[in-house]
Amino acid sequence: MQVTGIRRTQLRIDTPVAPPTWALLERELIRANNRACEEFFNYYFDERGYIRAVTRWGGDDGPDDAIENLADWPVLHALGGADNILQMAELGWEGHVRQYTEAKTTEVEFARDGMYYKEFPTICDWLHNGESMSVFNLLGLSNPHALNFEKRVRRFAGFYMDEDPGAPNYDPKLRLIRSMYNGSRGPMLRKATGLDWAGDPIEVENRFKLLHGERNYAEMVAHFEDYNDVAGDSPVNMGATSLILNAYALTGEEKYREWLIGYADAWVDRMDANGGIIPSNIGLDGSIGGECDGKWYGGVYGWGFTVVVPQTGELAHRNLSWWGYRGFGNAILASGDMRYVDKWGAMIDQINAEAKVENGVAVYPRMYGDEGWYAFTPEPYSYGALDLYYWSLREQDRARVKDDPWVQFLNGENDDYPVQALNQDFERIRHRVDEGITNENLTLDTRLSDNPNPYNPATVGTLIRLMWGGLPTGINAYPLQARVRYFDPVLRRAGIPQDVAALVEKLGTDETVINLVNLNQTEARSVIIQGGGYGEHQIVSAQIGETALDVNGAWCTVRLEPGCGGRVTLKMKRYANAPTMLLPWD
């Protein structure tokens, strides 16, 4: 992959159009997000960016949940949200780091000197570490030149590249992360305990509302009593690849790409050695199942990880081995290599081939244990299926997600999808403000860090799909996977300019069709279109009507006259460029 030079190429749209419903809804949804997020921040955070809640260490209500309350805010700004959205997200991140560096445990050994160390979680699994990085990892979409951003990006990546002797998480010879419980103080190589996961004892009854349903501290510990086998590598650790992808996109240094591809390829090799299924435990000696008596399905969050819910006695199947496909997605961003799609797609098909018929209905497995496949459900196994189709756009991958309404829209089969999806998002914001602010009645000493999580009003999933032709980033620090994104050349900021709306109507292997509209009836607007979330897609040419221009760069500019709109057809070479956080004017 090579970074191709950027040329200043501009097209013009001068056809007046009546404002489409989708465009009006899109702009109003951005405004509704802005207002709701500002109200939410003022309610739950103080002037330092500290969350107004009891600070604890724990898998239920720890530091990850505190910053998760601002998840999607950097993306909202990068879409075109107000400048204060980015300012609040940055203030909340800085306050979060300080607050949880100051916060200490008394009984949990690895957080007695601070729950954060070197501005990163001391030790946890990547379900939670990912949530801890969900805001920071995406701040670079709008402000990659922020003070200390590059220092942190390099430091965080270094924890997983054997660059920090105080955090020996990675074995470079065997290409494995040495424990699924890891962080800035290194890996946990012993058996984990309920205390490690649940945190210090607390008063629960008549004080705290635990979102996982436990009624007392004893049940909090019991929730994690089987979360023991953490030593060795796990697919959950593929979440750490986002830190390295971030460093590669920011610095362009080849060492980050080499690590990322090397680690992803190690998992490909493990799948090949395990009959095509990604194993959920890799021993410290590199053997499959090496820390779990040779069982490839062992380990916390593994294929056989079924536990008892203490307050109900019911069984819960908590297999997170599917996180592996997200690491493969980061490798695709860095390389454009579709063999990662082939590997994961073959695994999905292999699992679904284990289907059986119960009461006349086909059911498909989710888990694997000593007796073979179990936990059958009527829905086929499909973790990662939408992403696979998005990356490859091949018919065999589309077949797994043919009923997805967005996929149907992109293929001309569901014209009502944009308006329906946008309308639903207004209801979501209204509900979250009503329940999370208007009717919330907790106090500083009765509110845990995860209590506001269900009410974070940032609602960006539909906007990402419609405006960028992209996949929602979620709450686990995954980078942006998008066909295009936009910049304002006048204000020199990330995000679509004020009054402009965009609808990605078609995604092809070498073509993207975008409907652009300027809702301002008296002023022209200019918008920069970038190929990909990080410039990874090369724009070969751009066409509006009969006018076509060669671009041969990562971006082009479109001028929209007042009240005008039209379709821009981009011919593209996908994954032709190295991903970069550089802004167009850099």
pLDDT tens-place string over residues 12-31: 999 999 999 999 999 999 99
What does the alpha-carbon distance between residue 534 and residue 501 come to, in Å, rounded to a whole number? 21
State how far Cα 403 lies from the chain centre: 23
Residue 10: per-residue pLDDT: 85
Name the amino acid, one letter, at 410. Answer: L
Element (H, E) at 405: helix 405-410
Q: pLDDT grade, residue 381 (50/70/90)?
A: very high
- Percentage of the chain beyond pLDDT 90 is 98
Q: Give the chain's domains with CATH numbers.
A: 20-147+405-467 (no CATH), 168-192+227-401 (no CATH), 483-573 (2.60.40.1180)
Residue 464 near residue 470, CB atoms below 8 Å: yes
Tell how strand 511-518 and strand 547-553 pair up.
Answer: unpaired
Average pLDDT for 244-266: 98
What does the alpha-carbon distance between residue 1 and residue 532 come to, in Å, rounded to a whole number? 14
Average pLDDT for 132-146: 97
* Mean pLDDT estimate for the chain: 97
pLDDT tens per residue, range 511-547: 999 999 999 999 999 999 999 999 999 999 999 999 9
Residue 470: per-residue pLDDT: 98
Q: Which residues contact 310 (CB under 8 A, 6 or more apart)?
A: 214, 218, 219, 222, 223
CA atoms within 13 A on the CB side of 413: 8
Element (H, E) at 324: helix 324-335
Residue 350 near residue 334, CB atoms below 8 Å: no
Residue 9: per-residue pLDDT: 67
- Say yes or no to pLDDT of 5 above 90: no
Name the amino acid, one letter, at 145. Answer: H
Residue 75 near residue 473, CB atoms below 8 Å: yes
Neighbours of 28 (CB within 10 A): 13
Q: pLDDT grade, residue 4 (50/70/90)?
A: very low
Neighbouring-strand partners of residue 448: 54
Q: Which residues contact 344 (CB under 8 A, 6 or more apart)?
A: 324, 325, 328, 384, 388
pLDDT tens per residue, range 383-414: 999 999 999 999 999 999 999 999 999 999 99
pLDDT tens per residue, range 318-342: 999 999 999 999 999 999 999 999 9
Q: Which residues contact 424 (CB under 8 A, 6 or more apart)?
A: 462
Q: Rounded to the nearest 5°, which phi and psi values hold at 369?
A: -135, -160
Q: Quote the DSSP letter at residue 468.
A: I
Tell how strand 116-117 and strand 120-121 pair up.
Answer: antiparallel
What does the alpha-carbon distance between residue 535 and residue 561 come to, in Å, rounded to a whole number? 26
Residue 277: per-residue pLDDT: 98
Residue 386 near residue 401, CB atoms below 8 Å: yes
CA atoms within 13 A on the CB side of 315: 8
The two tokens of residue 235 are: 């697919």
Tell how strand 511-518 and strand 525-531 pair up.
Answer: unpaired
Q: Rounded to the nearest 5°, which phi and psi values hold at 173?
A: -70, -45
Element (H, E) at 4: none
pTM to 2 decimal places: 0.97
Q: pLDDT grade, residue 7 (50/70/90)?
A: very low
What does the alpha-carbon distance between residue 127 and residue 399 come to, in Å, rounded to a whole number? 29
pLDDT tens per residue, range 341-363: 999 999 999 999 999 999 999 99
- Say yes or no to pLDDT of 6 above 80: no
Residue 94: per-residue pLDDT: 98
CA torsion through residues 200, 204, 210, 212, sign: positive
Tell how strand 10-13 and strand 555-560 pair up.
Answer: parallel
- In sequence order, what DSSP letters do the residues of 73-90 get, joined into one string? HHHHHHHT--HHHHHHHH
- Say yes or no to pLDDT of 1 above 70: no
Q: Which residues contact 502 (CB under 8 A, 6 or more apart)?
A: 26, 466, 467, 486, 496, 514, 515, 516, 517, 527
What does the alpha-carbon distance between residue 51 and residue 91 come to, in Å, rounded to a whole number? 11
Helices and strands of the chain, counted as H and E runs:
18, 22
- Say yes or no to pLDDT of 416 above 90: yes
Three-state secondary structure call for residue 384: coil
